[in-house]
Amino acid sequence: MASVSEDMGVYVSDVSEFVGSDEGDEDREPLGDRLRGMAAELDVDSVEEVRELRDRT
């Protein structure tokens, strides 16, 4: 199960492969299409993670 850190965020290194451009790449998919399904790979109990964050503060 993945865990959520206090410094959650999206960093350039996380998305650079989706925003870069190759000159010869004519059949690119829209960013939303390429990102779709990535979050489905995460297995996080969001309710439990929020409770843990509240307990830390």
Whether residue 42 contacts residue 4, with contact meaning beta carbons closer than 8 Å, is answered with no
Q: What's the rounded Cα separation, in Å, for the pair 57 and 53?
A: 7
Give the pLDDT band of residue 1 (cuts 50, 70, 90).
very low
Q: What's the rounded Cα separation, in Å, for the pair 47 and 51?
A: 6
Q: What is the pLDDT of residues 2-53, one digit of tens each?
A: 444 556 676 777 777 766 666 665 667 787 787 777 766 677 788 888 999 8
- In this structure, what DSSP letter does residue 29 have? P
pTM beyond 0.75, yes or no: no
Q: Which residue in this structure is represented by tokens 């290194």?
A: 13
